[in-house]
Structure 1
């Protein structure tokens, strides 16, 4: 696979804090990682990401809570 080019959101600011980075590989899959732990990478297909974002915008996950 070719070298990935990781991008941060313009909303991340200029610091080196916790930022989500995204890259698209030559295989067409989308990769996400957190800048402070770059060895952990989540991979998804574009169609799956679109479906997740549609659901999030529609409130499908509003009932989900995080309990550490």
Structure 2
């Protein structure tokens, strides 16, 4: 499969993954009772790594598509 053909699907998956990161972050703040409206610094790389870990099974090859390789 050509990357340009799969690009819209990849972008959609990235949107879903970033929404999941946002939802997880909000859930963690709610859980920890962080009642602050101030912005807090975070490590974006850790969020991306967590998302990749969650979506790891989708990166594997199957009968419909080859494996997706993520590089630094």
Same-fold call, TM cutoff 0.5: no
Bucket of the pairwise TM-score, normalised by the shorter protein: under 0.3
TM-score for both structures, normalised by structure 1: 0.27
TM-score for both structures, normalised by structure 2: 0.26
Which has the larger share of helix?
2
Which has the larger share of strand?
1
Q: Which has the larger Rg?
A: 2
